[in-house]
Amino acid sequence: MKKNVLFIMLVICSLMRINAQPFTPITYTPAYKQIDIDADKCSVQLFVSPAGNDSWSGTTIVSSAHDGPFATLERAREEVRKLKRKGLPKGGIAVNLLGGIYSLYKSLELNSEDGGTEGSPIVYKAYKEEDVRLIGGKKLTANDISIVTNPDILARINPLAKGKVYQFSTKALGINHTNIFPDVFSDGGGIFELFFNGKRMPLSRWPDEGYTTMKEVINPGDNKTPGTFIYQDSTPVDKWEGNNNIWLKGFWRVGWENPAIKVATIDKASKQITFKAGIGAGIGSKYNRPKGSGKEQWYAINLLEEITKPGEWAIDFNTGIVYFWPPSDIDKADILVSQMDQPIIVANNVSNIAFIGLKLEGSLSDGMVFTKSNENLVAGCTFRNLGGRGVVLDGYKSGIQSCDMYGLGRGCIVISGGNKQKLTESGNYVINNHLHDYGALKSQYSAAVDLYSDNKNLDAVGIYVGHNLIHHAPRDGVLFAGQKNIFEYNEIHRCSYATADVGAFYSWLDWTIRGVVIRYNYIHNTVGGVNPDDGSSGTFVYGNIFSGNRTGIWIASGPDHTVQNNIFIKNAGPVFGMDDRGKSRGYATNKKLLSGVNGINPTSPPWSTTFPEMPTLLSTHPELPQRTKFAGNVVWIKSGDATAIHMSKENKVDTNLIRIDGNFVTDKDPGFMDANGGNLGLKTTAPVFDKIKDFPKIKFDKIGLYIDKYRKKLPTPEEAGKLPSQNPWKDNDTDTYFGT
């Protein structure tokens, strides 16, 4: 009891001890150099038009009886290769795409033959900012769709949708990717998608919004044995009995896995559902075995009977007929069915190539994929309505700048490069991009910017991510990993509303994450702030603004984190938490954690000199959150404690584990320009500058997007997802948890 009282007194004193010690911020200069291309200065100008002809020269815009622009990107690529064989023209080659739709049935593949040099790049661009659409799908017209008249089908349609549901035959229209869903899947199930006037149309579902829950697990099953559960009395499941094509999608075991599973049988007498296939570790909350918690969330998908609102559709896998309730008049609608199962553009071993001002959409896969490619630029492009990601990029000195990405089935950008062994920085950058409304098909571990999940065998060193606007996604804003990466001046909001164990910035199970700087970002109204999970290490979190009741920082037993000179705004604390789970979970012998450290030779340069803690890391209890610091922060809360330290008694008083010092905790406005109006810049007379020595003057007006040569205007509040009506949470949501 005395030890507990002593610890509480120490924490209180540390929170009150303003200016106990000066804090020196880590200064770090990003290694990237922004690529500057002026396509108008390219000495050769080629032209492509949907109304062109591949037998023409491609050197003129105006079509005549005998000459004019090319018709396809493939023909332009061949002309570039032909010109290069004669000697790359000084200044480079610009391929100008005139406005219109370019339908692709396979990837535009580029290799070492197709790149340029630093002074003579190859540029694919929209001519004079015309609307250029590269689509990997099939366009439908009103003539392809007809109102449902079949009496048997009409009898199954919900009364809300009577007379409003149309149909089209995938077989008659030659539409591919119509095979039946797998028994278990965690993405789109491999079938095509339907888009109407530029928006993804959702598969029918019940309930229309949110989830229902299981009542009780009868048999959890495992990866070989299907599970069985009792459904709630209030569900309409009874009327589905006898339908052999039902899939339920849900968080069956944990809050970060939500596979869809095919139903084998429904017994309405006992109100039991038995699945056709099992999943790893079975169904039912892992924290409430064997019957589950009764809170496991799920919903049904692709049922004709559950088309109950405009936009919803379902496919009958037996007949290949799609049933669809159009959200508006179909006569003038832009209707697209995704068909390509490949990236729209694939570049391998390509250097000095640029894509500017293009729109890529309608593929079941990614927009652009670069592998082993250097000094390339993707700028001012739009990636929308894709089944995969916008851009996947691996290489050096390449940039993704001022692009818009939304309506994506997975995340937006996956980026890697550099050399982890040698700590060679890639010089890659992601700047000024608007990334939102992604994760539509694979919601878990799909991020706006991803340096981790798809890069398990690739390095991510020296990558700069700055001035991006990220919002409205079911899970993470940024998945971070690697070394010497900088994330600054990004705005992240309204993310992570459909998962658990999450963060605006999230990483997992890696002691070699080092030198990651997260600074001057504005993270607000989202779930989680910076969450290095399960031993993830090595971040410097400095000068950020965290606002919102479910935003904060949680250190899950990882070493070497510094949280310094940040601003936290919440109704109630805590804003910072940490735990020592690594001891009970055996992180000291975890194969993944150990292999990561042993794989980089931590006792020799450059690792031993760049990160002096590494040579002795494995011998000094790395399973504990060694050298954690929460210092010099501003905490504006109305009630509660600023910190939550979930550690054993002996670890709480171990000064090698945690230092909490010099924080300014207040229940009053610490000196913002206009907190109510949303301006969180600090006045020059703000009390915080007296309370905390050398507190940074955060340039709040510099956070987020800016105007440049590729981004000509900033999004409206609605486009930026900031209207009150765009809040994904219910007004009565009082949850304040932000940990992992």
Closest among 469, 384, 378, 369 to 416, alpha carbons compared: 369
For residue 240, the model assigns a pLDDT of: 87
Q: Which residue has the higher pLDDT, 733 or 451?
A: 451
Determine what percent of the chain is predicted with pLDDT higher than 70: 95
**Angle subtended at Cα 504 by Cα 498 and Cα 509, rounded to the nearest 5 degrees:** 95
* Average of per-residue pLDDT values in the chain: 92
Residue 16 is predicted with a pLDDT of 37
Contacts of residue 23, defined as CB under 8 A and 6 or more positions apart, other chains included, come to 564, 565, 631, 632, 662, 692, 693, 694
Q: Is the pLDDT of residue 735 over 60?
A: yes
Lowest-pLDDT range, 43-52, 238-247, 416-425? 238-247
Q: What is the mean pLDDT of residues 692-721?
A: 96
Task: Provide the pLDDT for residue 330.
Answer: 95
pLDDT in tens, 273-322: 999 999 999 999 999 989 999 999 999 999 999 999 999 999 999 999 99
pLDDT of residue 426: 96
Q: Over 60: is that where the pLDDT of 75 sits?
A: yes
Query: 18 pLDDT exceeds 90?
Result: no
Q: What is the mean pLDDT of residues 667-695?
A: 94
Alpha-carbon span 674 to 87, nearest angstrom: 60
Q: Looking at the predicted structure, is the pLDDT value of residue 47 above 80?
A: yes
Is residue 723 classed exposed, middle or buried when 0-12, 13-18 and 19+ CB atoms within 10 A define those classes?
exposed
Question: Does 23 have pLDDT greater than 90?
Answer: no
Q: What is the mean pLDDT of residues 541-569?
A: 95
How many residues does the structure list for the chain? 740
Q: Stretch 642-663: mean pLDDT, rounded?
A: 92
Q: Give the per-residue pLDDT at 239.
A: 83
CA distances (Å), origin 633, targets 11, 503, 666, 697: 14, 19, 11, 13
Which whole number is the average pLDDT over 68-89? 97
Which range among 51-65, 235-249, 613-627 shows the weakest confidence by mean pLDDT?
A: 235-249
CATH architecture of 206-301: Beta Barrel (2.40)
**Neighbouring C-beta atoms of residue 152, cutoff 10 Å:** 6
- Separation of alpha carbons 568 and 573, rounded Å: 9
Indicate the pTM of the whole model.
0.93
pLDDT score of 631: 96
Q: Which residue has the tokens 């440049």?
A: 708
At residue 9, does pLDDT exceed 60?
no
* Cis preceding linkage at 574, omega within 30: yes
Q: Hey, what are 555's tokens?
A: 């250190």
What is the per-residue pLDDT for 11? 39
